[in-house]
Structure 1
Amino acid sequence: MSLDPIVAEVTVPVTPTEAFVGFTAQMGEWWDPAVTPEPATYSGIAIDPDGPVEMVHGDEHFTWGRVMEWDPIGRYTQEFWLGHPEDEATVLDVRFTEAEAGATLVRLVHSGWLPGTEDLRARYADWQRLLDRYAAHVS
Structure 2
Amino acid sequence: MPDTPATDAGLAPIVAEVTVPVTPTEAFVGFTAQMGEWWDPVLTPDAATFTNIAIDPNGPVAMVHGDEEYVWGRVMEWDPIGRYTQEFWLGHPEDEATVLDVRFTEADGGGSLVRLVHSGWMPGTEEVRAKYTHWGDLLARYAAHVS
Query: Which band: TM-score by shorter chain?
Result: over 0.9
With normalisation by structure 1, the TM-score equals: 0.97
Counting only pairs closer than 5 Å after superposition, residues 1-139 of structure 1 correspond to structure 2 as: 3-139=11-147
What TM-score results when the alignment is normalised by the length of structure 2? 0.92
Equivalents in 2 of 1:122, 1:102: separation in Å? 34
Runs of 4+ in 1 over 6 A off after TM superposition: none
Cα displacement (A) at 1:102? 3.2
Q: Match for 2:118: what amino acid?
A: H
Across the two proteins, how many residue pairs are aligned to each other?
138
Q: Percent identity?
A: 80
CA displacement, residues 9-65 of structure 1 (integer Å, 9 cap, x when unaligned) = 000000000000000000000000000011110000000000000000000000000
Q: Distance in 1 between matches of 2:103 and 2:128?
A: 24
Structure 2: which 5+ residue stretches go unaligned? Answer: 1-9
The offset of 1:101, in angstroms, is: 4.0
Distance 1:58 1:18 in 2: 28
Q: Secondary structure of 2:28's partner?
A: helix
CA RMSD of aligned residues (A): 0.9
